[in-house]
Amino acid sequence: MSRFRELVIAAALLACGPAFAQSAPPVALGRPALPQEIAAWDIDIRPDGVGLPPGKGSVKDGEQIYLERCAACHGEFGEGAGRYPVLVGGQGTLTKDAPDKTIGSFWPYASTVFDYVRRAMPFGDAQSLTADETYALTAYLLAMNEVVKDDFVLSKENFASVKLGNVGAFYDDDRETTEKAFWREPCMKDCAREPAKILNRARALDVTPDSKTGPKVE
Amino acid sequence: MSDKTVNRRAFMTAAGLAGAAVATGARAQTPDPLITEVQPWNKQLGDGVQANPYGSPSKFEKHVVRRDVEWLTVSRESSVNFTPLHELDGIITPSGLCFERHHGGVAEIEPGKHRLMIHGLVDKPLVYTMDDLKRFPGRINRAYFLECAANSGMEWKGAQLNGCQFTHGMVHNVWYAGLPLKALLDQAGVKTNGKWLLAEGADSAGMTRSIPIDKAMKDCMVAWNMNGEALRPEQGYPLRLVVPGWEGNMWVKWLRRLEIGDQPWHHREETSKYTDLLADGRSRRFTWIMDAKSVVTNPSPQAPLRAKGPNVLTGLAWSGRGAIKRVDVSLDGGRNWTTARIEGPVLPLSLTRFYLDFDWDGRELLVQSRAMDDTGYVQPTKSELRAVRGVNSIYHNNGIQTWLVRGDGETENVEIS
């Protein structure tokens, strides 16, 4: 730690009150993280490819892994079994009544697929795939979404070349400008000309759990 | 007569309610046996101390529970349940009633086996044990609301679920103890190009979110204590991140790793999820702040009005931008409003409790509440939100809720013009 930073910390601690003024040096708690420890936990991937492990995998190998490890929930064709997430299709639905937000139609970055599969899939058996298997599976998911061809082999080296179609459709939170009208002085009296009319009722849908029965205990 | 009373009377007149109160102080015809006869609990000994070493609610409160909506999700391990807001009062949510949202079930972690790692763009990558954290100087305790960005998300296309537990129950308010995240980051020494922080959980979902370093340094906490006791397992025991005013998904539970980087990671929970799809097919991302919102919890569909005459309307208001400044209530679907009585602590980034004492003459009411925060933001109507965002954004629905109270007191979730 630099002498400058020590001074900054000392100043910050002084500002917190006299009790801290005496313990100005850095707190002697915690220990240095070892490189092997960081490597074991640092599994995150970024869109620019930072974090990708060495390895590669083909669409063809990915199909086999998918059928064995993923299809039971996500369906043989990525259509989603039951209510498990749909992985394929949905292009052209984002402005429609029921958008299908899949890897192909919505996700901005392929790195997110690799990262998520690597850390959280298969559901209930996370972090059980090897790096090569994760490359293969990611390649297959991209092929199912027609982002890459069926003979594609995905690797650390060519990962950054894979682009998803919806990447340009995301922009940073702009509520403070586009919703500026919500900062205002609200109306208190005679705010509407007509009495309010009821447009729809939750009761008509009848999808609320019965409050008279307790929650199911499994 | 105070100004407040005058205002309330004027409002009641506008709502057509004044002077119509029905006397409810019913005259007893026969003596009440609960008074005239000795009851078992007046006579017999009750349980001694230690009958219940970690106390639980009265057996007469069994109906006060978190509930889920089975059709919402396919697996309870990746699902959500809801806080019974209509059964609560004050501003603090009891630990065992705080709604749950997991992506890979509740991780069961022995505290002695938990580690917190800080690495990436820092001078000194560090590992802490829970004991280290509990010895660390500068501990703080604070109350903050946590609201899931998807709270009220099922209501974008119209009234769907009949109960404030289900429409608004993905919120809780907890008093945390722990450390300012800044204390740990300063110890590690964030490099000048360290602009983002990745927080990661130790659960089987390996939950991750990217957080700007300014927010991390400003008011985030690592907390191990809620409402005076250890975090509940379902709330991230032994350690969770607290990200005041920002969407609940960022409050990573079972927190094990903090990585400093120079760019956001764009992981699943900030791309595929927790981005807001607008009507034109484009999506807002990094919509972290929870805008001002409120809901009347009583009356509501699960807590109908039981009698004419004096009644207490109450509810909760909160804002991720600051403190609640004012809450207005309408009984006529938003044509006329009166300012509710805020009672109890008004803390920034915390639930705030409001009341309106009123006389009900049995006529139909369209009950609404409208929160205003100290930045001047006023909770919008659902139509105003839809005009800007469409109906497909799932997240950040902070529109004004309407309850229809019918002549018999039964209360329904409705949408109005």
Task: Say yes or no to pLDDT of A96 above 50.
Answer: yes
Pairwise CA distance, residues B11 & B331, whole Å: 9
User: What is the number of helices (H) and of strands (E) in chain A?
Assistant: 9, 5
Record: contact A107-B288, CB cut-off 8 A: no
What does DSSP say about strands B115-120 and B255-261: parallel, antiparallel, or unpaired?
A: parallel
> Hey, are the CB atoms on B334 and A191 less than 8 Å from each other?
yes
Token reading at B278? 């607008």
The pLDDT confidence band at residue A4, using thresholds 50, 70 and 90, is very low
- Closest residue of chain A to B379, computed from CA coordinates: A182
Q: What is the DSSP string of B203-239?
A: STT--EEEEEHHHHHHT-EEEEEETTEEPPGGGTTT-
Mean pLDDT of A107-121: 98
Partner-chain residue, chosen from A16, A116, A123, that has the shortest CB–CB distance to B267 = A116
- List, for residues B382-414, the tens digit of each pLDDT value: 999 999 999 999 999 999 999 999 999 999 999
User: Under an 8 A CB cutoff, do B104 and A124 touch?
Assistant: yes
B374–chain A Cβ distance below 8 A for any pair: no
Q: What is the CATH number of domain B95-284?
A: 3.90.420.10
**A80-93 pLDDT, tens per residue?**
998 899 999 999 99
pLDDT, mean of residues A106-112: 98
Tokens of B415: 């949408």
Contacts B301 to A, Cβ<8 Å: 202, 208
B76 touches chain A (CB under 8 A): yes
Which of B236, B232, B206 is CA-nearest to residue B221?
A: B236
CB contact under 8 A, A170 and B282: yes
A-facing residues of B in 276-295 (CB < 8 A) are 277, 279-289, 291
In this model, does residue B15 exceed pLDDT 90?
no
Instruction: Specify the residue for token string 């997110």.
Output: A112
**Residue A83 confidence (pLDDT):** 87
ipTM for the predicted complex: 0.91
pLDDT in tens, B21-58: 444 456 789 999 999 999 999 999 999 999 999 999 99
Mean pLDDT (chain A, rounded)? 88
pLDDT digits (tens, 9 = 90+) for B260-304: 999 999 999 999 999 999 999 999 999 999 999 999 999 999 999
pLDDT for the residue A190:
97
Which pLDDT belongs to residue B27?
76
Burial of residue B312 (CB within 10 Å: 0-12, 13-18, 19+) is exposed
Q: Alpha-carbon distance A176 to A178, whole Å?
A: 6
B159/A201 Cβ within 8 A: yes
Which of the four pLDDT bands, split at 50, 70 and 90, describes residue A2? Answer: very low
**CATH of span B293-414:** 2.60.40.650
Question: Mean of the pLDDT values across residues A50-54?
Answer: 98
For the cut 90, the answer to whether the pLDDT of residue B122 exceeds it is yes
Taking CB atoms and an 8 Å limit, are A207 and B279 in contact across chains? no
Of A51, A41, A122, A53, the C-alpha closest to B266 is A51
Over residues A145-172, the pLDDT tens digits come to 999 999 999 999 999 999 999 999 999 9
Q: Point out the least confidently predicted range of A97-111, B70-84, B180-194, B343-357.
A: B70-84
Q: Which of B118, B166, B283 sits opposite A208 (nearest CB)?
A: B166
Specify the pLDDT at position B25: 55
Q: Measure the N-to-C terminal CA separation of chain A; round to a whole number of Å.
A: 53
pLDDT reported for residue B357? 98
Q: What is the pLDDT of residues B328-372, one digit of tens each?
A: 999 999 999 999 999 999 999 999 999 999 999 999 999 999 999
Identify the structural domains of chain A with CATH numbers, from first to last: 3-30 (no CATH), 47-169 (1.10.760.10)
Cα angle B186, B192, B195 (rounded to 5 degrees) comes to 85
Residue of chain B whose alpha carbon sits nearest to that of A107: B272
Tell whether the model's pLDDT for residue A213 goes beyond 90: no
Helix or strand or coil: residue B210? Answer: strand
CA-CA distance, A103 to A105, in Å (whole number)?
6
Domain positions in chain B are 95-284, 293-414
Q: Residue A183: which of B161, B376, B392 has the nearest Cβ?
A: B376
Q: Do A183 and B413 touch (CB under 8 A)?
A: no
Contact assessment for residue B227 and residue B174, using Cβ atoms and an 8 Å cutoff: yes
Percent of chain B with pLDDT over 70: 94
Q: Give chain B's mean pLDDT.
A: 94
